[in-house]
């Protein structure tokens, strides 16, 4: 009974706790209206109660603790901790398989998966490849532009094209995407002008695309804040009886942030129609995954929030599509959110301001290069007789034109006023920001005089 702890007097509470840790726990008959309840209770019995051991409580490492002979019997049943198990959730249903879902292996061979059937036609498969190739070419152009001083900084998506393209392709047109700052390939899949998404890295305070035109929210630089935006949007859509699903991207580093954990918990409690898509690229800037979590995997964290976790090969565009489509359909049917972990690798540094050679070995980079998502998909298309020289030439030409378009758009774009950095936050900026603003103004004026 949930009310027992509240009603118990301080003197009764220790006895109640001791009784829970006694043999009565192990011999209790599973109760509950469903098999799930019984399974949960059975699991608890196997693991034993999570209270102080008999030896610890008795201060005796040899004699098991038994109820004191002179201890009075409790005058009530005490709290039944089994009743604290959520009867609607079976943890076995939520646990991910440690073996990631893979439909396309490194040799380009396709393997069917009973749980994630592939429903794509030949033109869809070609389109997935095209999006990945264009994304990689534009990504390289963005790096070049940053090196030439046209972008302030840039976060590359090289190596993560399959994770982004496959997942974004699984959405319906009316679904929404809430990206972090690395989702160039997802934006291309949604049809956003490639130059528009790069304006953010030029120092402007907004991207240059209409979120409502593409159902693609603005890129978010703060780590994990977009997860709350996505969950809130999904909840609002459900209240409006709008069958929208929100796909929320973030990296493994974001799982260490409070915002992300709050979003996961909120979505689980209210069964928000959203999909959390973690691109586990192995590093949060220079911090490896082993320093981010002690969980078996990021997908396992879904259990704690009452949602299923799924792992997939993030360099396999077909697995990314199929698993995300399953999760999207699940959310749209009212079955709640899913946490997907796409295992991939960040081939470039965290951003162009980072020196990745200081914390990872060249051998590691070369190893992950063998998982390249584009070459894998190219081999697959050839095996399926979906590859022609004309098709390859057309894709290459489109990628070249997109890169040229980006270069022209960025070079022609006006440089923002640096002083705008201090606008749009405070009606009356605090004194320290006013001093910083005046200092910057003086430096800019001095630079003009030189």
Q: Is 360 a catalytic residue?
A: no
> Could you tell me the strand order of the sheet in which 176-178 lies?
176-178, 246-251, 274-280, 338-343, 309-313
* CB 399 within 8 Å of CB 134: yes
Catalytic residue among 82, 131, 350, 407: 350
Q: Which of 359, 360, 405, 437 is catalytic?
A: 359
Helix, strand, or coil (residue 30): coil
Place of tokens 């006013």: 434
Question: Any catalytic annotation for residue 346?
Answer: yes
Cα–Cα distances in angstroms (integers) from residue 410 to residues 125, 149, 195, in the given order: 31, 11, 7
Contact predicate 176/188, CB 8 Å: no
How far apart CA 165 and CA 20 sit, in angstroms, is: 52
- Least Cα distance to 254 among 280, 275, 234 occurs for 280
Does the annotation count 411 as an active-site position?
A: no
Q: Name the strand (E) or helix (H) holding 301.
A: helix 301-304
> What residues contact residue 75 under an 8 Å CB cut-off, 6+ apart?
12
Tell me whether residue 48 is exposed, middle or buried, using C-beta atoms within 10 angstroms of its C-beta: 0 to 12, 13 to 18, 19 or more: exposed
Residue from 82, 137, 346, 407 carrying the catalytic annotation: 346
Q: Tell me the catalytic residues.
A: 346, 350, 359
């Amino acid at each position: 009974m949930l009310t027992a702890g509240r009603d118990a007097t301080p003197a009764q509470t220790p006895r109640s706790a001791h009784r829970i840790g006694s043999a009565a726990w192990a011999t209790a008959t599973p109760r509950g209206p469903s098999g799930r309840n019984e399974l949960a209770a059975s699991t608890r019995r196997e693991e034993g109660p999570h209270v102080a051991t008999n030896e610890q409580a008795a201060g005796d490492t040899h004699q098991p603790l038994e109820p004191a002979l002179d201890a009075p019997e409790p005058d009530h049943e005490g709290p039944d901790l089994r009743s604290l198990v959520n009867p609607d959730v079976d943890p076995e249903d939520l646990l991910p398989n440690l073996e990631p879902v893979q439909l396309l292996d490194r040799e380009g061979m396709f393997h069917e998966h009973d749980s994630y059937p592939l429903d794509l036609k030949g033109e869809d498969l070609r389109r997935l490849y095209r999006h990945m190739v264009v994304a990689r070419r534009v990504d390289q152009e963005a790096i070049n532009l940053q090196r030439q001083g046209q972008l302030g900084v840039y976060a590359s998506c090289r190596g993560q094209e399959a994770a982004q393209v496959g997942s974004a392709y699984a959405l319906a047109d009316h679904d929404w995407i809430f990206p972090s700052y690395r989702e160039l390939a997802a934006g291309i899949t949604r049809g956003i002008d490639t130059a528009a998404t790069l304006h953010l890295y030029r120092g402007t305070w907004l991207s240059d695309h209409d979120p409502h035109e593409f159902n693609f929210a603005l890129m978010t630089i703060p780590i994990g804040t977009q997860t709350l935006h996505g969950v809130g949007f999904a909840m609002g859509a459900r209240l409006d009886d709008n069958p929208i699903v929100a796909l929320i991207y973030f990296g493994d580093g974001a799982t260490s942030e409070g915002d992300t954990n709050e979003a996961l918990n909120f979505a689980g409690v209210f069964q928000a129609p959203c999909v959390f898509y973690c691109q586990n690229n192995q590093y949060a800037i220079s911090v490896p995954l082993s320093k981010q979590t002690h969980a078996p995997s990021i997908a396992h964290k879904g259990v704690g929030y009452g949602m299923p976790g799924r792992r997939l090969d993030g360099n396999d565009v077909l697995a990314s599509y199929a698993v995300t489509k399953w999760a999207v359909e699940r959310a749209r049917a009212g079955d709640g959110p899913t946490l997907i972990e796409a295992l991939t690798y960040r081939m470039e540094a965290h951003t162009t301001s980072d020196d990745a050679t200081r914390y990872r070995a060249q051998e590691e980079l070369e190893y992950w290069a063998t998982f390249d998502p584009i070459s894998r998909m190219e081999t697959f298309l050839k095996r399926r007789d979906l590859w022609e020289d004309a098709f390859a030439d057309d894709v290459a030409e489109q990628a070249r034109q997109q890169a040229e378009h980006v270069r022209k758009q960025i070079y022609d774009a006006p440089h923002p006023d640096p002083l705008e950095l201090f606008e749009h936050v405070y009606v009356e900026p605090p004194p320290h920001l006013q001093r910083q603003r005046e200092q910057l103004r003086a430096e800019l004026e001095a630079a003009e005089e030189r």
